[in-house]
Structure 1
Amino acid sequence: MTSMGPLALLIALAAAITATTGVLTFRRRRETPAALPLTVALASVTVWGVSVVLQNAALPASWLDATVFPQFLGVSGAVLSFRLFVDAVSGRVLRPRRVLAFSVEPALLLLALALDPQLHWFHATVDIGGDPARRVVTAGPLFWAHTAYSYLVVLTAASTIWQLRRSTRGLLRRQATTMLVAIAAPFACNLTVIAPRVALPVDITPLAFTVTGVLFAYAVLQQDLLRLVPVARSLVVETVTDAVFVVDERGRLVDLNPAGHAQLRPDAGPRDTVVGRPFADLVDAAVAGAVDAGDGETVVQPARGGFLDVRTRWIRDDRGDPLGRVVVARDVTERYEAAQALERANDRLRAQVATIERLRADLVEEASRDPLTGLRNRRRFVDDLAARLTTAAEVGRPLSLVLLDVDHFKAINDTHGHAVGDDVLVEVARVLGAHARPEDVVRYGGEEFVVLLPHLDTDAARARAEELRTACAGVRVGVESLRITISAGVATAPAHGTTPDELLLAADRALYGAKGGGRDRVVLAD
């Protein structure tokens, strides 16, 4: 075995590892979009490594040229696929236009290799000789152009992973670190291979991919890389409609999304010029005040109009020290105005309900009042009397009742007319109301009135009835010859009855006694 035997064996081992890892990742293709580009990348590295092994495996000289095409097919495929894999891991959607754009250079590379035996633009010179036969080349201009492009693609991928590592913690951060090391190893080895002053007999870059294969196998199997692909910040923060601001502990704006820039003052300037400036100088005073109030949520009304729901949360490190604040402002103008409109509608509804209740109470009260005298009528009197009798019985106090009747009222109507009769009833009602509580005087019907005397026994009720009779005798209605007299019957509960019917019947009999005894007098119930 030549001196290249062990090195070729290691490269073959690297190809076996990348192939095995590719099989493992291919099985995860249904779980994440990152699986397919990683599988293609590992397959490309495998093809690259096998080609290098064949170039150092003592093949016939006529076969060595045939290994160049698959070698660079693996190189370009690895660069393209690793770039797409990093895009998928960082959350970028793998759109066909982006894949096609990255595929232009590999296609041109393969075309240049096909034409290179005539043009010699990729390999300026090709010399096959030695024992065993080896293919020795010098780089042409297209080789260096391809190398520069490949390095640029790899560096942009590494930059994406570095930014991902800075913005994540825990397992996602360890995954990003693993991917950085996996990319750095073959990158450093390839720099050594193409360096003009370094004379390596074989391309050891595929050997460095042994490290890449092992690291990616660890990430896939132990860190569950393809199950926990993080979502890119651009897909979360940049696309949300809420304004998002990050403010450091000194009150300076350190980050914001497009919706946040739209909420800044009109004179704040472009988005790339506001970072680093005092947050309070960039936003409306109402928003700045809500943020200065600390953690919490509040609705503010900016000067430009509308309403914003401002939520502020402190960001702290592992030791609990404050690093800054995250401020999320959501435009709730439509919702807030709808809530206010609903509240105003509810207020109007409550006012209308109150008006309806008041009108209903007025109607009930009006229905219970006599339209001529304004006194309560007998419609609800019996129910009210029953309630008062129950209360009087519970407290052990008497309740007296006086039933009054205007003497010769029919004759008044016949002689002087109904208008005078109505005036008599109105004046009698006024006098009775002046000598008793208004709620205790009831027009019982026609020329009859009832006066309730709470807490008065029989003797006291009779004396009050005499006062009422005397007061009514002084009623004058404009007819000088008309003299008004009143007859009254008095009954007291519980002596004369305990129910409304019993008490009214007793008072009515006493009233008939007063009428039969000559009128203009008060008679007690038996």
Structure 2
Amino acid sequence: MTQGLDPILLIYILSALLSGALAVILWQHHGKTGVIPLLGTVLAVGLWDVSLVLLSVIGHPLATTVLTGTLFLGVGFATMTFLVFTLVYTGREQFLTTPILAVLSAEPILLAVLAVVNPSHLFFESFNGTLEPGPLLWIHLGYAYLVLGLVTVLILGFLYRSRSLYKGQSAALLFGTLATWIANGVYVAGFVEFDTSPIGFVVAGSLYAVAIVRYRLADVVPIARDRVIDTVTDGVFVIDTDDRIIDINPAARDLFEGADSSVIGTDVHSLIAGYPVLEEQYDEITTAPVESEREFSLGTVAYHVRSTPIEDSRDRHVGWLLIIRDITERKRHEERLEQQNDRLEQFANIVSHDLRNPLNVADGYLDLAREADDPAQYFDEIDRSHDRMETIIEDVLALAREGSAVTDPEPVSLADLAEQAWESVDTGDATLSVTSDLTILADPKRITRLFENLFRNSVEHGTPDATDDGADPIGSPLEVEVGTIGADDGGGSVGFYVSDDGLGLPDEGEDVFEDGYTTNAEGTGFGLSIVQGIATAHGWTVTAGEGERGGARFDFTGVDSDGANESSADGSVGTLGSPVPASDGQPSDTTPS
């Protein structure tokens, strides 16, 4: 080596000391992703620097040969380990298979052997006593620049994708890489007569120190984030303060039909345009950098969104992390629990009030019977009280059974069930007309019970002073009709109706579905409540009104016609579908049934 380069020797020593200090810092974080290969880079650079220092002060031929080998061993492993670190850091460790690692590791070892052996002067060539790079060394230099170029491209790509969120640490890595191979390029190109690579590594080491200490390079490893957001089923968005999409995981892209990774870097408003609910939610979320949670509904799907502000190392707000979760099933479960609680409260009221009345009546007549000379005269009243209690208990049990959600519906003929129910009810002279040939998905036992209650309600309440045979004393027999609701019938969805030509409903309208509501002193008031419970258990909607013939009419909509009009709730979970009009859908804390 040349003499009189004491300042350069000091630079080599400084670079070696800095490499040692960085190695100590990195070892304190050795359990974190990416630190081990970066530690290998720092140690290899240290070996490179120490070898250069010793070659400058030791002139023994054997020592020179050994130090030449260690020098190029450090050079080779510095290149190799930095490539490994970059692949891990940018999320491409799938390329680091055992065969590839073996090939990458073999290059530094082969380089050191060739440097020591120098076969046929192919590694070094001597011209007038000066060593110059031979063909094999030029091949290594080409390989090294290829690797460093790849590293630079990977870091640049990550820097572009991360924008402001990881800009500090990525820039430190980028300029450190550039400093290293530019400094070496100056020496190889012959612009200077001494190896300036250590100067590049001094700069690189300083930048790595900044990345580790200031930007917490060893703590904030982007690939750890990538692994999480790419595998979770929740939609994850990372958005900067300029409303640009910095990152978006597959689950979030699936929410928007046709969206792919090309949306990264675009304005988030271009993605949510046409979804007024989302636009409103986003504007509210981004008004201030505070953590928030909210729920909203789109059609039959309910979503929960959590927004978390993202800050850099100086606690400056640089963006938002948005996590969107489909909570449709949770909402349905909550609604079912609420319905069950309502039924429990309903049953408690029935037991405490409705059953207590006939029980008190029976107790009163029983006391009178004990004191009377002829107790038999009170037995009929006691028997009637017991019969009423039995009827109430049967209706309460029906409410409990019929109100639970239908989980396994089957195709059934609406006409067949209506006719079967008609046969089981004492309808007297009343007649049934079934104009529907609809096949629906339902629980046949519950639908039979539904028809029985509706038919019984028509017969008992449809005519003035109705007789037991269902006939009007001054008119014709009652007529009951079961028909289909469809597009041609003015209905908004497929369904069916039950109507009669009797007196119709009282002015209270929808109050007829309330528990205990009845206009008949002998009735329990639970018949139509049971009907509503059965409809709700199927996911249907039931409404009461006046029919075309002036009597009562009950409409059932939202009915599945043998699966043909099955609700899209399950099918639309996980996708927002097509953009909706501005008036469609408002933020809500509940999911439509």
TM-score bracket, normalised by the shorter chain, equals 0.5 to 0.7
The aligned counterpart of 1:347 is 342
CA contact (8 A) 1:14 1:207 kept: no
Specify which of 141, 162, 165 is matched with residue 168 of structure 1: 165
Residue identity (%):
22
> Who is 2:330 aligned against?
335
Aligned-residue offset at 1:192: 0.6
Q: Secondary structure at the match of 2:365?
A: coil
Residue 210 of structure 1 aligns with an amino acid whose one-letter code is V
Letter aligned with residue 77 of structure 2: G
Per-residue CA deviations over 1:222-273 (Å, capped at 9, x if unaligned) read 64947644454413433332213457899886652211111113xx254426
- The number of residue pairs the alignment matches comes to 369
Inter-CA distance 77–163: structure 2 relative to 1 (3 Å threshold): farther
Q: Name the SS of the counterpart of 1:241 in structure 2.
A: coil
Deviations 1:117-151 (A, max 9, x none): 6877963x511753xxx522244552343133232
Partner of 1:272: 262
On the 8 A contact 2:163/2:246 being kept in 1, the answer is no
Q: What letter corresponds to residue 136 of structure 1 in structure 2?
A: E
2: distance between equivalents of 1:144 and 1:178? 24
Q: 1:242 aligns with which of 225, 234, 240?
A: 234
Alignment CA distance shift 1:10-1:102 (3 Å): farther
Alpha-carbon displacement from aligned partner over 1:456-489 (angstroms, at most 9, x marks no partner): xxxxxxxxxxxxxxxxxxxxxxxxxxxxxxxxxx
State the one-letter code of the partner of 2:40: V
CA contact (8 A) 1:285 1:302 kept: no
- SS of 1:200's partner is coil
Structure 2 contact 40–78 (Cα < 8 Å) conserved: yes
1:73-472, aligned counterparts within 5 Å? 73-86=73-86, 90=89, 97=96, 101-102=100-101, 104-111=103-110, 114=113, 123=123, 126-127=125-126, 130=129, 134-140=130-136, 142-156=139-153, 158-159=155-156, 162=159, 166-168=163-165, 176-195=170-189, 198-216=190-208, 223=214, 225=216, 228-232=219-223, 233-245=225-237, 255-265=247-257, 268-272=258-262, 276=266, 279=269, 285=275, 287-288=277-278, 291=281, 294-295=284-285, 297-303=293-299, 305-311=300-306, 327-370=322-365
How many angstroms does 1:113 deviate by? 5.8
Q: Partners of 1:278 and 1:115 in 2: how far apart?
A: 56
What are the Cα deviations for residues 374-403 of structure 1, in whole angstroms up to 9, with x where unaligned? xx9599xxxxxxxxxxxxxxxxxxxxxxxx
Deviation at 1:58? 6.5
Structure 1 residues 297 and 6, CA gap change in structure 2 (3 angstroms): closer
> Per chain length, whose mean CA-contact separation is higher, i.e. which structure has more relative contact order (CA < 8 Å, sep 6+)?
2
Judging changes above 3 Å, is the alpha-carbon distance between structure 1 residues 299 and 26 closer, same or farther for their aligned structure 2 residues? closer
Give the 3 Å change call, closer, same or farther, for CA 378–316 of structure 1 in structure 2.
Answer: farther
Amino acid corresponding to residue 235 of structure 2 in structure 1: A
Residue type of the alignment partner of 1:192: V
CA distance in 1, matches of 2:281, 2:176: 43
Amino acid at match of 2:78: A
Cα distance, 1:59 vs. partner?
2.7
Counterpart in the other structure of 1:69:
69
Could you tell me which runs of 5 or more consecutive residues in structure 1 were left unpaired when the two chains were aligned: 380-408, 427-526
Q: Shift in Å at residue 339 of structure 1?
A: 0.8
Aligned partner of 1:75: which letter?
Answer: V
Q: How many angstroms apart in 1 are the aligned matches of 2:169 and 2:317? A: 27
1:338-357 CA distance string (max 9 Å, x none): 11111122222222222222
The one-letter code sitting in structure 1 at the alignment partner of 2:234 is D
5+ residue gaps in structure 2? 286-291, 382-593
Cα displacement string for residues 6-43 of structure 1 (whole angstroms, at most 9, x for unaligned residues) = 15522441353145315523651556455433332222
Q: State the distance in 2 between where 1:325 and 1:39 align.
A: 32
Moved more, 79-88 or 65-74: 79-88
- Partner SS state of residue 364, structure 2: coil
Counterparts in 2 of 1:83 and 1:137: CA distance versus 1, 3 Å: closer
8 Å contact kept, 1:51–1:67: yes
Specify whether residues 7 and 312 from structure 1 end up closer, same or farther in structure 2 by C-alpha distance, changes over 3 A only: closer
Between the aligned partners of 1:338 and 1:27, the Cα distance in structure 2 is 50
One-letter identity of the residue aligned with 1:142: I
TM-score w.r.t. the length of structure 1 is 0.55
Alpha-carbon offset, residue 278 of structure 1: 7.0
CA distance in 2, matches of 1:238, 1:138: 48
Q: Counterpart amino acid of 2:133?
A: V
TM normalised by structure 2 equals: 0.50
Change (3 A) 1:143 1:157: same
Preserved contact between residue 48 and residue 70 of structure 1 (Cα < 8 Å): yes
Provide, for residues 154-202 of structure 1, a one-character-per-residue CA deviation record: whole Å limited to 9, x for no partner.
3146437745974437xxx65555444443332221121122xx25333
Take 2:202 and 2:60, find their aligned partners in 1: how far apart are those partners?
27
**Which residue matches 1:438?**
none
Distance in 2 (alpha carbons) for counterparts of 1:224 and 1:325: 19
The answer as to whether partners of 2:302 and 2:331 remain within 8 angstroms in 1 is: yes
**CA deviation profile, 1:253-300 (whole Å, cap 9, x unmatched):** 6652211111113xx254426864775766884753653672375544
CA distance in 1, matches of 2:58, 2:280: 76
Q: Could you tell me how far apart the structure 1 residues matched to 2:154 and 2:265 are?
A: 26
Distance 1:23 1:281 in 2: 45
What is the CA RMSD across the aligned residues, in angstroms? 4.9
Choose 1 or 2 for highest CA Rg.
1
Shift of the 139–259 alpha-carbon distance from structure 1 to 2, 3 Å rule, reads: same
